[in-house]
Amino acid sequence: MSTDGPATASALLRPFDLRGRRLRNRIVMGPHETNLAYRRAISRRHVAYYTRRTRGGVGLVVAESASVHPYDWPYERAPLAADCEAGWRAVADACHGDGALVLAGLSHAGSQGSSAYSQRELWAPSSVADVASREVPKEMEPEDIDAVIGGFAASAALALDCGLDGVEINAGQHSLIRQYLSGLTNLREDAYGERSRFAREVLSAVRAAAPGAVIGLRLSCEELAPWAGITPESAAEVVGSLAENLDYLAVVRGSAMATSATRPDGHTPAGFNLDLVGQLHAALRAAGSGIAVLAQGSIVDVGMAEAAVEDDVADLVEMTRALLADANLPNKIAAGESDRVRPCILCNQNCMVRDPRNPIVSCVADPRTGHEWDQPTVLDVPPVSRTVVVVGGGPAGLEAARVARTRGHTVRLVESTERLGGALRAAAVGAGRERLARLADWLERECARTGVGLQLGTQADAAGLRATGADVIIATGSLDGARTYVVHADAADAVHTARSVLQAIGAGTLSALPDGPVVVWDPVGGPIAVSVAEALAAAGRSVTLVTPDPIAGNELSRSGDLAPANSRLQAAGVSLVRRSVLLAVGPGRVSVENRFSGSREDLPASLVVDAGFRLPNEALWHSLDEDTLRAGDEVAPRTVYEALLEARAAVMELDGRPMPRPRPRGKPSRQAPPPATPPTPPTVPAAPTGPSGPPTVTVLEGAGR
């Protein structure tokens, strides 16, 4: 990590002016999907979510993009500008009170929308089927074009009227404006075949409707489809032609043909867009344009963000995911504590929510993210100070120890191995997953810094734990799962778990495992098997991945890595044997069966990597009282997200403050507020209580259809 100089020296903290409004610093929380909306309205949950960041010091928040036309309903909880009045007002009031500026994100997804919720046809410049959904949109008629332009203008006027500082118009991923700008999707022969015309008309209508508003444009400046798509050169030209109505440009990349390029996970290097940003910035300066430039693209490290401003690559830096991981990032910089920022590990596991199940935005590093309204903070200090022993130094144990210590308890952490970090350390060895280690490092550092007593290489037992008289939290992780296939006696040495293979790679002892062809058996479909296969292929091994699914890494769609993972695997020469199960392991070979034809084949394999499900390591817990607190894989082997969440819940339980049980998201007013220091709710007048049923607040949440 960077060693920061005096706090005020950070370039990120220099104020910046946009259309006469002063940003207190250069750190921006960009527009992103949260699924926090109530129906199509910005909700109280949004307010709590944004204000946690404005309180943490962020300079500018761009609220979740709202559709400017009712037929545009790209995901179920996509805000609709016409339904956002109360929500925008509440967000503006709350965030302004914290000293931040707020813009409304405005969007129309065009052919990248969904007809499932609106039950209407999609609109686009031309009848070009979307690459992902394959739905053919309607070629917009003149009255449709007028309606959308009018929608942008009316929405901007409404945003300004609600007290927001302006708008950011989406011409990036999932946007109709980009579809007009791109030769991939605009094949029109009328006046709008001049591809920047639509964008120009939108911006001038917005400027006319909302004079005085900050107007930003989020533009894909690189569609990664040079044969017809937007290129950095054409983007610079377009921006030049739009300049009179623009205050800033947010430089992004990607198109319908490369949706995962816009906000990729850690397989793409952090700051991947900085060259593009610099290129656009330079082109604009060369053309004498004073438009501010905002850098986006996996910028999650303070040092990288500071350098972008210091080196004049960009004026503003979007650090959305970093702010999900640590809402107090700007304040920590200001306090000279950049090294204490809880890291974003670019896993995309819980923050990517474009998924039909409508998951709520959250973060593996901070599970309270997205749950500001219904989950209490763990930062209050309980009246009773206890002595706590945490057994297990994986992510659950570390988080439990850290939180318990932060809450004023005396904490000792007992770990059976000589290393802290548990499964997280092993996972971080996987290809493209290196950043996972940063979270383990951070947990370890924070435990050390706060004074958690660490006892490594020590096996805890029930008698010893009872003898301490301390409160105990068990976080002993997982065990290898049962094999679902036959292993012949003379092939027993061939089978190793993904965990042990990752540890061997990490320790540099891969050569101790059997040489020759490898079969990775993956009944899970998560990131582990894919990353092991890639790591082994990179180590020069011949690898075959066997999966019961039709696609390798079947569960990776939410993080956006599904298509990229399959491309990387094939490009690395990994053979994919799909829709098949592992039946048996023999000497030098395995037998697999196709699930649908029943046909069997043998594959050469001297090393078989079992990436199957694991089992809870619960023997110690079973030897203790049934009330003993527990967390993480020891309860049921899952991910680091659940580990951290349950670790916090265990500590709160210890303090007699159990986490509230889950409730449906809809109307937070139905729930009792969290017991300690909840974010101050915005002042929203309560609606009258209906004749039957519990009281409801309809002003914020009920403005929908």
Partner 1 sequence: MTSSGSRYRHLFTPLEIGPVTTRNRIVFSAHLTNFAEDGLPSDQHVAYYEARAIGGTGLIITEEHSTHPSDWPYEKLIHGFHAEVIPGYRRITDAVHRHGTPIFAQINHNGGQASSMFSRMPVWSASPVADPLFREVAKGLTKREIAEVVAGYALVAGHCREGGFDGIELQCSHSSIVRAFLSPTTNKRTDTYGGSLEDRARLLREVIAAVREAIGRHMALGVRLCGDELMEGGTTIAEAVELGRMVEAGGQVDYINTSIGVATASLFMIEASMAVPPGYALYISSALRRAVSLPVIGVGRFKDPLQADRALAEGHCDLVGVVRGQIADPDFAAKARAGTTEEIRLCLSCNQECVGRMGLNRWLGCIENPRTGREAEALPSPRLPLGQRVVVIGAGPAGLQAAIDAARRGHRVEVYEREAAAGGQVRLAALVPNRAEFGDMVRNQLTECARYGVVVSYSQEPTLTDIDALDPDVVVVATGAEPTRPYWAPVEAAEGTPQVCDVRDVLTGTARPSGRVVVLDEVGFHQATSVAELLADRGCTVEVLTPGMVVGQDLGITLDMEHWWVRATAKGIAQTTDSVVMGVQPGGLSVLHHPTGAMRHVDADHVVIAGPQRPDDALYRALKSRGGRYELYRVGDCVAPRRAHAAVVDGHRVGVSL
Binding site for partner 1 (CB under 8 A): 76, 115-117, 119, 121-122, 127-129, 134-139, 356-359, 367, 371, 524-526, 550-551, 555, 562-563, 566-568, 570-571, 579, 594-597, 599, 613-616, 626, 635-638, 642, 645-646, 661-667, 670, 692-694
CB of 123 vs partner 1, minimal distance in Å: 9
Amino acid making up residue 99 = G
Q: Which residues pair with 21 in a beta bridge?
A: 18
Both tokens of 86, joined, read 């109360």
CB of 368 vs partner 1, minimal distance in Å: 11
CB of 688 vs partner 1, minimal distance in Å: 17
Eight-class DSSP state of 110: G
Eight-class DSSP state of 371: -
- Rounded Cα gap, residues 682 and 379, in angstroms: 22
Of the two residues 282 and 360, which places its CB atom closer to partner 1 in the complex? 360
CB of 14 vs partner 1, minimal distance in Å: 39
- To 10 degrees, what angle do helices 197-209 and 142-161 make? 40
Interior/surface letters 514-531, b for 16+ CB within 10 angstroms, e for the rest: beebbbbbbbbbbbbbbb
Eight-class DSSP state of 519: E
Both tokens of 669, joined, read 């007013």
CB of 359 vs partner 1, minimal distance in Å: 5
Of the two residues 10 and 259, which places its CB atom closer to partner 1 in the complex? 259
CB of 240 vs partner 1, minimal distance in Å: 32
CB of 677 vs partner 1, minimal distance in Å: 20
- Whether the CA torsion 689, 694, 699, 705 is positive or negative: it is negative
Both tokens of 497, joined, read 């778990």
CB of 597 vs partner 1, minimal distance in Å: 4
Of the two residues 173 and 478, which places its CB atom closer to partner 1 in the complex? 478
Of the two residues 683 and 692, which places its CB atom closer to partner 1 in the complex? 692
By CB neighbour count within 10 A (0-12 exposed, 13-18 middle, 19+ buried), where does 705 fall? exposed
Of the two residues 168 and 701, which places its CB atom closer to partner 1 in the complex? 701
Of the two residues 340 and 638, which places its CB atom closer to partner 1 in the complex? 638
Of the two residues 101 and 122, which places its CB atom closer to partner 1 in the complex? 122
- Rounded Cα gap, residues 63 and 45, in angstroms: 12
- Rounded Cα gap, residues 399 and 396, in angstroms: 5
Of the two residues 204 and 594, which places its CB atom closer to partner 1 in the complex? 594
The total of other beta-carbon atoms located within 10 Å of residue 627's CB is: 7
CB of 65 vs partner 1, minimal distance in Å: 21
CB of 426 vs partner 1, minimal distance in Å: 17
Of the two residues 127 and 387, which places its CB atom closer to partner 1 in the complex? 127
Distances (CA, A) of 30 to 72, 94, 269: 21, 17, 19
Of the two residues 8 and 567, which places its CB atom closer to partner 1 in the complex? 567
Of the two residues 6 and 134, which places its CB atom closer to partner 1 in the complex? 134
Sorted by sequence, the CB contacts under 8 Å of residue 226 that are 6+ apart come out as none
For 630-676, give the DSSP string: E-GGGTS---HHHHHHHHHHHHHHHTT-PPPPP--SS-GGGSPPPSS
Sorted by sequence, the CB contacts under 8 Å of residue 514 that are 6+ apart come out as 493, 494, 606, 607
Of the two residues 5 and 134, which places its CB atom closer to partner 1 in the complex? 134
Of the two residues 320 and 478, which places its CB atom closer to partner 1 in the complex? 478
Task: Determine contact, residues 488/586, Cβ cutoff 8 Å.
Answer: yes
CB of 477 vs partner 1, minimal distance in Å: 12
Task: Determine contact, residues 172/250, Cβ cutoff 8 Å.
Answer: yes
Of the two residues 482 and 512, which places its CB atom closer to partner 1 in the complex? 482
CB of 312 vs partner 1, minimal distance in Å: 37
Of the two residues 299 and 472, which places its CB atom closer to partner 1 in the complex? 472
- Whether the CA torsion 181, 187, 189, 190 is positive or negative: it is negative
Closest by alpha carbon to 552, among 590, 543, 584?
543
Q: Which residues pair with 17 in a beta bridge?
A: 22
Distances (CA, A) of 332 to 498, 530, 693: 37, 36, 45
Both tokens of 184, joined, read 């991939």
Closest by alpha carbon to 479, among 616, 630, 610, 609?
616
DSSP β-ladder status, 166-171 and 214-220:
parallel
Q: Which residues pair with 389 in a beta bridge?
A: 412, 472
Task: Determine contact, residues 284/291, Cβ cutoff 8 Å.
Answer: yes
The total of other beta-carbon atoms located within 10 Å of residue 448's CB is: 12
Of the two residues 116 and 381, which places its CB atom closer to partner 1 in the complex? 116
The total of other beta-carbon atoms located within 10 Å of residue 694's CB is: 9
Task: Determine contact, residues 700/38, Cβ cutoff 8 Å.
Answer: yes
CB of 23 vs partner 1, minimal distance in Å: 35
CB of 664 vs partner 1, minimal distance in Å: 3
Of the two residues 668 and 679, which places its CB atom closer to partner 1 in the complex? 668
CB of 482 vs partner 1, minimal distance in Å: 9
Eight-class DSSP state of 1: -
CB of 257 vs partner 1, minimal distance in Å: 10
DSSP β-ladder status, 166-171 and 101-107:
parallel
The total of other beta-carbon atoms located within 10 Å of residue 418's CB is: 9
Sorted by sequence, the CB contacts under 8 Å of residue 469 that are 6+ apart come out as 387
CB of 185 vs partner 1, minimal distance in Å: 13
Task: Determine contact, residues 551/564, Cβ cutoff 8 Å.
Answer: no
